Structure 1
Amino acid sequence: MIGNEESITLVLNRLRRAHGQLAGVIAMIEQGRDCKDVVTQLAAVSRALDRAGFKIVAAGLRECVDGAADGADPMTVDELEKLFLALA
């Protein structure tokens, strides 16, 4: 699970924004727009996806800490490291 309702909503909003931005990048390429403009928008898409990923990892860390307090299986350091490195 990604987290609570608020976290899920934030992640979905970020992903929807990135989806729209990516559609815009595709349209820009199809229209033959300037390379600089395309790359600038593509970088914005990348940042939006990164932010969604970081939000998911942050929510996972919260769940890990809360779960450990509730007696649930906490994530290992190796598992957390892999999550972070997947976004690097």
Structure 2
Amino acid sequence: MEEEVLLVDLKKGQRGIVKRIDANSELKQRLLSFGIVRGSEIEVVDYGINRSTIEVRVGNTLLALRYDEAKAIEVERIDGED
């Protein structure tokens, strides 16, 4: 059984499947425009200074999210690492 965690709880290089986005409609629309929707695969590429931002890959797209935006995304971890 895979573990459901917040996107910000994933380590660099880990991947997850988006399960839920707990945000207002404006943020949900912004994430949708990036391809971040329920069921999409997302990978943590890197964290910015003081973890204020998180660089992620969705499909072939690299993008940076603010920590508060990423904290709204719940994922099912698909990597075997903890």
Q: Give the TM-score of the pair, scaled to structure 1.
A: 0.21
> Max radius of gyration: which structure?
1
Larger % of helix: which? Answer: 1
